[in-house]
Chain A
Amino acid sequence: MSPRLAPPSVVAAQTISESSPIASPPFDIIAAYRRILNDDSISMPVAAILALVELIEFSAAGTTFELVQALTDGAEQLKSRTPNSISLSAGVELFVAFVTLFPHESDSFDDLKAELVSEGRKYAQEAQTYRAKIAEFTFKFIKDNAILTHSYSRVVMHALLHAHKHKRISVYVTEARPRGLGIKTCEALTALGVPCTVVLDSAVAYLMDKVDVVLVGSEAVVESGGLINAVGSYQLAIIAKAHHKPFYALAESYKFHRLFPLSQYDLPTHTPNILSFPRAPASTPPPTPARGLSSTNLGHPPPASASMTSDQLARNPEVDYTRPDLITLVFSDVGILTPSGVSQYLVGMFAG
């Protein structure tokens, strides 16, 4: 952490020459992040890590302190510009911790940076294998049975397709309003020959008796052992618990996040606007009745908004927080963990 990684003379020379690190050709971390995210197999935390790796490559920082400063600045920029930053923060957090704790063995700071870059790339590469690993873990817990999943998750897809190769599974997937990603899951699974049905988010309780196991992905697994995922996961977990069905969360370890939400409203994504009431007279009356009555919309394959106005949608949350006591197990590449095991893993990884 202290700038003791190079002979003092080198450090001094560099710090003087790099007195204004911002002066270097501006590196647009947002653009880099978006470009990396275009690859469909790369999830947000890994994309964030790769974007930060690029930042290191471009950075003119001469000391670890400056470098970490640049990284946190870049991370802040990323977070402020992305609408839902929870998953991304998990990756950022992991990488910044990695950089600060990285053993300084190289001779010059440039070597160190190069090493960090290659390590970051290596990690991202390795991270791509995590899903297969998780699918392997999950496989043992799936029998010939009906699986309920929520929205679209790459790791769940991986696990389902892996299970499909050897077992006769059938999948129910929730529509997952407002983004409607359940449709995407259904299409993908049907194309590969997995029997799949989309159910309404409101039909989960109706369906639950027919389900043997619930599998969900996650945006982040937090320190309490709970789970942050697309809105609707929480109610899925509650209903599963009420029906005594196992509720399994699938999460790559880079989604483990040092965050401890005490309630739904303690999430970083919660804004005062969510669940607020429209300001009295003018705004609501005109749009709602007009849209609400257009029942012809129901026949169509559901677009992003079936009958809610964008204003109404804006008052709704994108993600929710599932309490640890509702989760049976968390499958991750570091093993199959109980929720309290996740939190112990996190405490061991970041504290101290």
Chain B
Amino acid sequence: MASNGPKSQSQPSDSTSAPPKSQKTMSKQERRELQEKQRAAKEVAKAQPAKGAKAANKPSQASQDNQSSKKPSKAAEPSTPSLGASASAKSLNATSASTSQHNLTGTEAFGLRIFSHFGAIKHPSGPAKGDIHPAIVRLGRQFAEFAITGANARCIATLTAFQSVIQDYSTPPNTTLSRHLTTHLSHQINHLVGARPMSVSMANAIKHIKVEITNSDIDMPEQNAKDELCHKIDLYIRDRIIVADKVIRTTALRKIQDGDTILTYARSSVVEKVLLYAHSKGREFSVIVVDSRPMLEGKGLLSKLSSAGIRCTYILLPALPSIIDEVNIVFVGAHSMLSNGAVFSRAGTAMVAMMAQERSIPFVVCCETYKYSEGIHLDSFTKNELAPLSVSIPAASSEEVQSEPNLQILNPLYDLTPPTNITAVVTEVGVIPPSSVSSLPFALGRQFI
């Protein structure tokens, strides 16, 4: 931020709705008002973002302002609460120029200096570009707000949305479905990716659909072709996700003995199914749900399991060492598995794996084969995703944290568990060691998963 200093000093705050006035000449009140306005604008920007490219040449104005007005604002805070509220109310009507500018400065200030390659969190722009299907627009919103999370849930939601896209699609003249539909879908996909980076599960599923589309018969009547594609999507969901989960839970059941204490981290839909199934089959076991900020997904799992009558313990990740000795087996889910046997999963999983391996506790990953990813990552930094601020900071403290100029919020969503720390991967083709993950495509007799 220091490098930006002189540049932004030379630029007066002309883009805001305040009169063009140098900061030094502002009164304390005025500066305070300006700052409040900017914060409110940031809030607006987060809820209703716009394209930020226009303001790219004025990157760190807000943070510069924050820095200069930090001390006075702290002093003024208790005395002028009503002023702050009115200022933010006023600035809701701020021009779109200032909105876009602060959107950018906001993301710049929060955590993208080191990990900028993870990509800023772009929100789907309100009026969708091009011909975006309403189902996709809605889905994009749900992805961006983290209303739908989890590799399986996102994949199923995407595929279901694609079915309505395909059904509502009509081939333009002078082209064929098998050629044009893929480009049409690509626009929809781009919109979704803008909302949240694509999961490996979605990428594999989309690859599959695109192949199906290009393979569809040119001479087939359009409605038949669309019906057939929708049917194939249904089959994909059934074979690769739903049936796979059923096979995984029966396989995993054999690894659960009476009296076991099972540890799981965060929330995986597959692990949830495994545990509920084992309980329904009369296995007597107890579960330790380990959870961690910022998402605290384990709470959902906890309520599901305990309402099913499974004895549960809920702890946060820092308490893991004190409880790990009680554990017989660890089950976790995965975002994707890589061809070197490493597993990409919710941030914190690697730590659990390391600790389990150190105590020789079997660490078992439950993962459908469609989450296989050809690539190899050696660490969690080459590819990851950042949790948006709305997810990572509780609403109450969010304003305070954001006004802190030297504070970056960085919450990677995933981490990489190295194959050495994984005992086994339960897939629908059986229990395999991580070293055999790379032979899965051969085992399935496919070029790709």
Interface residues of A (CB under 8 A from B): 223-225, 258, 260, 262-263, 265-266, 324, 339-340, 343-344, 346-348, 350-352
Contact = CB atoms under 8 A, between A and B. Distances in A.
Nearest to B360: A263
A352 B439 CA distance: 11
B435 A260 contact: no
A258 B169 CA distance: 47
A343 B444 contact: no
B444 A262 contact: no
Interface residues of B, number: 22
Give the one of B255, B362, B436, B445 with max A CB within 10 A: B436
Contact of A223 (B257, B433, B438, B444): B433
B116 to A, nearest CB: 37
A342 B116 CA distance: 42
Contacts, number: 62
Nearest to B426: A260
B430 A223 contact: yes
Contacts of A351: 429-430, 440, 443-444
B424 A262 contact: yes
A347 B430 contact: yes
Chain A: interface secondary structure? Answer: helix
A130 B362 CA distance: 34
Contact of A225 (B329, B364, B435, B443): B435
Most buried by B among A260, A339, A344: A260
B432 interface: yes
B351 interface: no
Given A258-B430, A351-B444, A352-B443, A343 B364 contact: no
B366 to A, nearest CB: 13
A238 to B, nearest CB: 12
A348 B429 CA distance: 10
Given A351-B429, A352-B445, A340 B423 contact: no
Contacts of A260: 424, 430-433
A340 B434 CA distance: 9
Contacts of B436: 223, 340, 343-344, 346-347
Given A262-B364, A263-B362, A266-B255, A223 B439 contact: no
A343 B257 CA distance: 24
Interface in B392-449: 423-424, 429-433, 435-436, 438-440, 442-445
Interface in B49-74: none
Contact of A348 (B431, B433, B442): B442
Nearest to B434: A340
Given A262-B424, A347-B443, A225 B362 contact: no
